[in-house]
Each structure stands twice: as structure tokens, then as C-alpha cells.
Chain A
Amino acid sequence: MAGTELAILKGITLEIKSGESAAIIGASGSGKSTLLGLLAGLDEATAGTVTINGTELGALDEDGRARFRGQHIGFVFQSFQLLPALTALENVMLPLELQGQSKVAELAQNYLQRVGLGARTDHYPLQLSGGEQQRVALARAFASRPSILFADEPTGNLDTKTGEHIIDLLFELNREEGTTLVLVTHDNALAERCQRRLRLDGGELMQE
């Protein structure tokens, strides 16, 4: 693609308050995932800044952003992104271990109990159903006590009924932990449950 410049996101200004829940909705290819990648510090913007809790992500290098993600950010992905080599418990322990916390096993066990998987801690992802895998991912996301949680189409790979359970669980945990939630989805019903809804269309953001 050398020589061709492609602007995916244009002139976006967005502020999300601590403890707030916001949904970014838009059609496929509207730039939702790109925006999420930038907000969460997974990617670098060619122009503009992202500031979380007073830290400007653009000023950090990749390793600095990785440390920042570890301390402040949690993720829930459409395709779960569990490590197949680790058990449910080990998957939840992983971010805690990366932060160098102690008593990680107890903490992880506690969160797995809260998502209703207390009895399946030794199972590997492939031995769990899609809904169960996503519950492990929720436990992993909240276990590190992030100040902000990004969820990328969290029900995209699940059937409607299972998806609703996951969403209930997500909002329940969010309420209990007081986490800021940024959710990307094309599902209007899901977006309805957030305090704010933002529509992304052709790279431009509109408040609904």
C-alpha cells in the first residue's frame, strides 16, 4: 500500500468519565476495532493523543504501554483469546503473575467462582464451551482490577441466549467493581444497556 494514505478515523474527540459505561456502535468496517486498539494502547495513532487517568499513551513506548495495560486496562475479546496451553485458572492468574502480585491463585479462584466456574478451574479452554470460555475471559479481565475495561464484540461468537448471560455477568461485575467500561458492538440491544452510545460511521464519531 505504499504511497496511498488511508484515513480510517477522522477528527474524533471523545471523553469518557471514570465509572462511566460507553458503547461504540457501527457497521462492519466503520473503524470500531481500530478505535478500540488506539484507546486501549494496543496501537499507535499517526496523529492525535489518547490519555487515560492522566497518562498520555502516545508518550510511552510499546513496553511502557504494555506495563500501563497490565496495571490499568482489562480486555474482553470476541474470540475470547485464552491461551490454549493454560488451564482456566492459569489463564486468570496470568495477568496477575505478569504484575508480580502475590496470592494470585486464591484471587483467580475467587473470580472464577464469581463467574460460576469454580468447579472447572482445571479445564483447558478446548474443554470448555464458548460461553464458558468467555466467562473465563471475564474473570481474567476483572481479576487484575483494571480501572478501565475494553470489550470488543464480547457476544459476537456466542448464540443469543449465552450472549445475554455473558452481558448480564459483565454488567454485574462492572457494577460491583466500579470499572469504566468501553464496549464495541454492532448489537443495538447490547448498546442500549450502556450509559452512553456513540456511533462510528465512515471514520467519524457521532453522539446518539
Chain B
Amino acid sequence: MSITATKMLARDWRGGELGVLVMALVLAVGVVSGISAFTTRLQNALEQESHRFLAADLVVNSGRELPSAWLQEAQGKGLQHALTLQFPSMVYAGEDTMSLASIKAVSDTYPLRGEMTFSTEPFGPVLAAESGPAPGEVWLDSRLFALLDVAVGDQVAVGDAQFVVAAAARTEPDQGSAFYGYGPRVLMHYSDIPATGVVQPGSRAEYRQLYAGEAATLAAFNRWLKPQLEEGQRAVTVEEGQPGIGNALDRAERFLLLAGSLAVVLAGVAVALAARRFSERHHDYVAIIKSLGATSGTVNRLYGSSLLLLGGIATVLGCLLGWGIQALFFYLFAEQLPVQPGPSGMKPYAIGAVTSLTCLLCFAWPPLRRLGQASPLRVLRRDLPLENRQAINDYALGLLAVTLLMWWYSEDWQLTLAVLAGLALTVGLGFCLALTLLRGGRLLGMSAGSIWRLALAGLQRRGSANALQVVIFAMAIMMLLILLLVRTSLIDEWQAQLPDDAPNHFMINIGPEDVQAIEQLLRAENISSEPFYPMIRGRIMSIDGEELPSTDDMEEGRRQRESNFTWADTLPTDNRLVAGEWWPAGTEEPLVSLEEEFADRMDLEVGDTIGFLIGSQPLEARVASIRALQWQSMRPNFYLVFPPRALAAFPATFMTAFHLGATDKAFLNQFIRRFPTVTVIEMDIVVEQIRTIINQVSAAINLVLVVILAAGGLVLVAGVQASVDARVHESAILRALGAQRRLILGGLLIEFATLGLFAGLLATVAAELSVYILQTFVMEMSYTPTPWLWPVGIFSGALVIGTLGVFSCRRVVSTPPVAVLREL
């Protein structure tokens, strides 16, 4: 029997519906496993990325030297380790030239995760380094070259030791955002510390032990370490990635999962349609072999094994396609990803295989199983009706399978429900609407011209079949619209966050007397900058009169904190009030406005009174409002904003942010020479990195959209094909009776375009609903109605379905009617 099964499959390939069936399966498996593998590997990379920001998997820090016994314990367990020490000190070049610097001494193995970058000249092209400076050498922050008037190869002194300037230090993985720290960076080797004689007991310094290794070993080490930590010693592991990129990628991932889920639904529908048509076309085959003595069991075995064989082939092809899709994504990404993505493992492909199996069992098998019940009497009487009574059960089974698959796949019931709500609306409303409208169309069409009467009569005659078709078309169009909408708003939002001229350099420590001169210089050099913000450093000491603990150990909760303050009369751009009110301009009241997350962390509410210490002077202010900020915007942002008069008595410096293109970096050398006290912080590498990642994610999203478009297209083709036989047959009769080519094609065009029009209308309504739910609850973005969607959805529906329909039926006017009639 199996020879017959393979033979049948091979020959049926030409029938077309088998092609759609296999393609739908391959696409389902491919998209599902591809997207799953991609997101798994991306998550993998992101996790590594967040480890990179620690330069390790686990970091212990303290203000005093840490026990070396811990390092030995780690070594014994097979973990890697590294040491760093950070302290402020003066750097000298000759007798008179000096600058305060933030010195960081690193051991050979540093960094354990991520990499350092340097350049061979200040602000020069960035190169990656495996490890830091060799003993006896230092790397200087780019701006120190100007401040100390040195070049690579010159000598500088730190404490009692002399060093050769070997390179310009550019970035370290764990430099974090602590750029309001001590001053420009100087990197040296860990073994050079004693020679400098600078670090004494009681010196202000931060000691770090860095550990990295296999997750389980590391966790065991961490458990061993925790009880031994004394006051002032803190162990930090990776809790979460960088909020900025993380957020964008998180949404991108959800988008991809959504796309994958929709692909499952679309492919499922395409599989069901193709299998149904396959089964209808095989009723005659079955009748013949049954007349020759095949039992229903034999028939089921024959088609079951064919289906399994087909499923096996499609699964293998689909997994290959999935592998190709994720490989293509990473090929697009490779340059930009800071770390090499790890392997995805077999799980994504297992998910693909399960998808394939589910599609086969729930969508393809029910119509094929009915073949076993086909009557052998069809060999004598071709006009016997086909067995289709269990169709409703099939749909219910399919819907359940799709829901479970989507939920399993996205692990997000909100997302699943949003799509289901759209689906349910389409199906429910669709049937009522389609039946009513199609009936109305008949009445309207009675008096219309001949083509219209023909078309509308056709629509009416196959009323319920057409309603089903409208629903299926609408489902496909709806999902494409959903993806298009979500994709567009995602990408728009990202691009709005980081426009091409987004600030990529910060300038701090600007003396009030320099503000005007710098403003003029920037304008003269045609450099666009943000406004100049006053900046005052202070410390939060008490809340509602209650003194806060001074410990630095806890991240959350109320404790004394250093922060930067600014003043403003109006709410800064990009800020949004979430509680309280903004003060009237010129107020003399001691008020303060807090950033939302900061207020959360300190457990503060509007009306609380905070005690500050600025320099040595105390200040009390009442919380007037709480603001939400866009941290990704790269504009200067402050946790605490005061009215100008409240801070009038305190000395302030100013800060600003500006955009500098890669070719204009030389400006910085000139600038630092002229304003040596101003600190310039380069963020261009980070901004560029974020931008490229976002661009690549956008590209990936567009790519997925294309794949899903293909899946949607398949559903449309399968849907049109489903009704082609009956329509071609009727048209052939009309042809035989002398109908003109124009009449038949015109009638078909109107018939299919009308179906497409209804489908487009339904799809648009349902897509708006789904997108509303998705944007509001899943993506956490603001929802805005999209008026342009309506004409696009409705008319593209009519156009695409109309064209596809006429194209699929075209042979009726190109072949003699007798041939068509005999064939059917």
C-alpha cells in the first residue's frame, strides 16, 4: 500500500492543492522555529550583554581590600576571576601640568565579560582590546591628552611612579553611567598600585573582585560567599539588562512572537483549506478503490500514511527554512551584536515539529478522515453530495488547537486573547454580516446590468460557502493589518526616540562664566545642542524630618543619596506629570519635582518634605509633583527639579548635550584646550550602538512581515482555490451557451471583488479592535485610531481577492468549454 501512497503523493503534487498544503506546513514550521530560534539566541545574547555591563557574572565590591581567600576558593571551583581598584588621584605631566583623574587599575584577566576599547590617538578610531595596559604603561582618557599636553609615548606620573602613555582609553564594559564621578579616566595595571604609594589604608577607593564561569558553579560560589560578606561588602549579579535597549528589544521580541503566533493561525487555516480541497478532489479516487474492494480502514491508512509522509517532509523542510530564517537575521545582525549569540538548541525546532503535527492532526486530518466514509456509489453517480457534515466540529477543534499553540508559543495570554478577540469578532460578525449583505446584494442586483446580475446571483447561490470564504479572507487580511500597524507604530516610536541628530555628547562642569562663550562657539561651529541646564550636586538627608541611614549597601528603599539637581520654571521637554502640579513661574516656595522611578525607590509621594544638604548648607523642600521621563531620548534628564529661586543661593555649574558627527570629533581637542575645566562625555559609541541595534531589529521585523505576508497570501490562494472548481464549472456552462469572455471574467471579477470588499471591511474592524488590545495591554504603547487603515484594508481586499479570483479561474476562457466540462 505504501508504494501507492508515495505514488499518489508524487502525482498529486501537480494538482496544486497538495502544493499549498505542503507550502503552508513548511511555512508554519519555518516561521515558528525560525522566530523561536532567533528570539532564543537573541535572549541568550542579551543576557550575555547584561553580563558585559558588569564585565563579569558576579562582582564583589568594597571600600576596603577584599580577602584573597575568596579568589582561591573561586579558582578551586574552576571560576575565572579578575581584580580592579578605582581611586581618584592627580596625574602629572612635568612639574606644573596636572589634572585630577579617576584611576582604575585592572589585572591581566580583566574584563571577564565584554571588552575594553582604546585608540592610538585621542578621539581616534576605536579598537577592541583583550586586556588593559601592561605594567608600567597607562591609557589616558582622550581629553587628558589636551589637558596634560602629552602625546602617546610621553611620560606621566601618578604618585611616586612614572608611566609611559601607551594609548587613549575609550570604554570599559563596566564603566556604567557613573560619569559624574571623579574625572577623566586613567587605566593602569593592577601590579603597579604599590609603586604609586597613593592608596593607603583609609584612602577613598573601590576594590572589586570579578568572577565568571558556568552558571551552576557560579551560583554555588555565590551561596558560599553570601554569608561571609561583611558590612560594606556587596555582591552584585546580573538582575536585568540595560533598560534602554532592553525595552526596545523586549517589544521587538513580543512583536516577533505575535508574528509567529499569527503565522501559526494563518498556516493552520491554509492547511485546513488545502486539505479540504484535496479531500474533495479525492472523493472520486476513493470511490474507485472502494468499488475495487478497499475498506474505509484501508482508505484511512492510505491517506493517513500519505499525510504522515507529507508532514515528515514538510517538517524537515520547515526546520531547514527556520534555520535559514534565523541565520539570515543573525547575518543581518552579526556586525552590530556586541556579543556572539549562543546556540539556540533543539527546542525551537521541536516547537516547529509540534506545530506541524498539530496542524496535520487538527486541520488536515479531519477532512481527509471523511474520505474513508465516501460512498463507492460515486463511480456510478458523480453528482452524489460530498460528506461535509462534521465541518463545524473541525473548526472548533482547529480553533482550540490554534489557541493552545499560540499560548504555548508566546507564553502570553494577553497576546493570545487579543488575537483571539479579533478572530472571534471576525468569525461571529463575519457570518452574520456576510449573509445579510450578500442577501441584500441580490435584491439590489436584480435590476442591474447583466454582468452584475450574474455576479450577484453567483454570490447569493453559494451564500454560506461565500460567508465562510469572506471570514477566511477577512482573517488573513486582519492579521496582516495587525502586523502592519504594530510594526509601523513600533518603528515610528523607536525612530522618534533616537533621531539622527540625537545628542551623543554631554558637557558638564561648565562654569556660569563660560556658558555664553560655549554657546557662541557651538553656534559658530554649527553644532546643534540642547539648552544649558544648571546642575547642583547635593545629598538627600531626611524625609519628613526623619534622618535617613547613610549606608550605600541597599539599592531600593530610603537611604541618603547623592544626586544632581537642576532648576526650571517650566516642565522640561519630554517630561510628563504623573502626580501633583507644576509650580507657577517665579514661585518662591521651596518645592521639588521628582522623577517617577526615583520617587518609587525612595518611597516618596506628593506632599512629603525632603531635607537636602548642598555643600554644607541645608535645604528643605516639599514634593510638588512627580514626572515620567524618556530616558532613551539621550537628552539631559534630572531626578530632582527645583524652582529657580529655591536654588538661587547655591553655586551651580551648567551642563548640556550636543550632537557631533564622527568626522567632527577633532573639535573636541580644540574645545578642551580652550575650556580645560569642562568635562566632555562621549556617548556617541553607545548611541550609535543603540541605533544600529534598533535599525537591525527593524529590519528583522520587516523581514518577518514579508514572511507573514507570504503566509497570508497562501491563505488567500487556498481560499480562492477552494471555490474555483464550482465557479469554473458554471462558467464553462455559460461559455458553452455562448457567453462572451468579457461577461464571464467581469462577472467573476465582481463576484470575487465583492467578497474581498466585505472581507476587507471585516478585517479592518477586527484589526482595529485587536491592535487596540495589543497596544494598550501587551506592547504598553499608546493607541491611536488609524483612519488610513479603512480605505487601505477595504480596497486592497477587493483588489487582491478580485485579481486572485480571476487569475485562478482564467483557464475557463482559455480552454474550450468541453474540455473543462469533461474534466470536472
Contact = CB atoms under 8 A, between A and B. Distances in A.
Contacts of A63: 295-297
A67 B295 contact: yes
Given A83-B285, A85-B12, A86-B4, A99 B293 contact: yes
Given A63-B297, A69-B291, A69-B292, A85 B8 contact: yes
A152 interface: yes
A98 B288 CA distance: 12
A95 interface: yes
A75 B292 contact: yes
A83 B293 contact: no
A142 B743 CA distance: 49
Interface in B257-306: 284-285, 288-298
A206 B109 CA distance: 107
B294 A98 contact: yes
Interface string A125-159: 00000000000000010001000000010000000
Given A85-B7, A86-B7, A97-B4, A69 B377 contact: no
A70 B380 contact: no
A66 B377 contact: no
Interface in B340-397: 375-377, 379-381
B294 A70 contact: yes
Given A97-B1, A98-B289, A77 B294 contact: no
B380 A33 contact: yes
Name the prevailing secondary structure of the B interface residues.
helix
A85 B289 contact: no
B742 interface: no
Nearest to A75: B291
B11 interface: yes
A94 interface: yes
Interface size class of B (residues with CB under 8 A): 20 to 34
Interface stretch (A16-24, A35-43, A175-183, A195-203): A35-43
Interface in B455-473: none
A162 interface: no
A81 interface: yes
Contacts of B294: 66, 70, 98
A63 B295 CA distance: 5
Contacts of B4: 86, 90, 94, 97
Interface string A48-92: 000000000000001100111111010101000111111000100
A85 B11 contact: yes
B380 A67 contact: no
Contacts of B10: 85
A102 B290 CA distance: 20
Contacts, number: 86
A83 B7 CA distance: 11
A95 B293 contact: yes
Contacts of B298: 66, 98
Contact of A66 (B7, B376, B380, B381): B376
Interface size class of A (residues with CB under 8 A): 20 to 34
A99 B298 CA distance: 11
Interface string B386-428: 0000000000000000000000000000000000000000000
A32 B559 CA distance: 100
Contacts of B295: 62-63, 66-67
A63 B294 CA distance: 8
Contacts of A95: 292-293
A121 B1 CA distance: 19
Given A67-B295, A94-B4, A95-B293, A83 B377 contact: no
Given A85-B7, A85-B8, A85-B12, A37 B293 contact: no
A154 to B, nearest CB: 13
B293 A66 contact: yes
Interface string B93-132: 0000000000000000000000000000000000000000
Interface in B683-718: none
A90 B7 contact: yes
Contacts of A82: 288
B297 A81 contact: no
A90 to B, nearest CB: 7
A98 B380 CA distance: 21
B384 to A, nearest CB: 10
A69 B379 CA distance: 14
Given A85-B7, A86-B4, A90-B7, A42 B293 contact: no
A71 B292 CA distance: 9
Given A43-B377, A94-B4, A152-B380, A84 B297 contact: no
A139 to B, nearest CB: 13
B377 A81 contact: no
A69 B293 contact: yes
A125 B38 CA distance: 48
Contact of A42 (B11, B285, B296, B379): B379
Contacts of B1: 97
A68 B295 CA distance: 10
A70 B292 contact: yes
B278 to A, nearest CB: 12
B381 A33 contact: yes
Contacts of A144: 292-293
Interface string B296-323: 1110000000000000000000000000
A36 B12 CA distance: 31
A84 B297 CA distance: 22
Contact of B288 (A36, A67, A81): A81
Contacts of B288: 81-83
A62 B298 CA distance: 13
A99 B294 CA distance: 8
A77 B289 CA distance: 13
A156 to B, nearest CB: 12
A42 B7 contact: no
8 contacts: A42-B379, A63-B295, A66-B295, A85-B7, A94-B289, A97-B4, A99-B293, A152-B380
Given A66-B290, A67-B293, A81-B291, 14 more contacts: A42-B380, A66-B298, A69-B290, A69-B291, A69-B292, A69-B293, A81-B284, A81-B379, A82-B288, A83-B8, A85-B8, A85-B285, A86-B7, A97-B4
Interface of A: 33, 36-37, 40, 42-43, 62-63, 66-71, 73, 75, 77, 81-86, 90, 94-95, 97-99, 124, 140, 144, 152
Sorted nearest first, the 6 A-B pairs with minimum C-beta distance are A70-B293, A85-B11, A63-B295, A95-B292, A66-B295, A42-B377
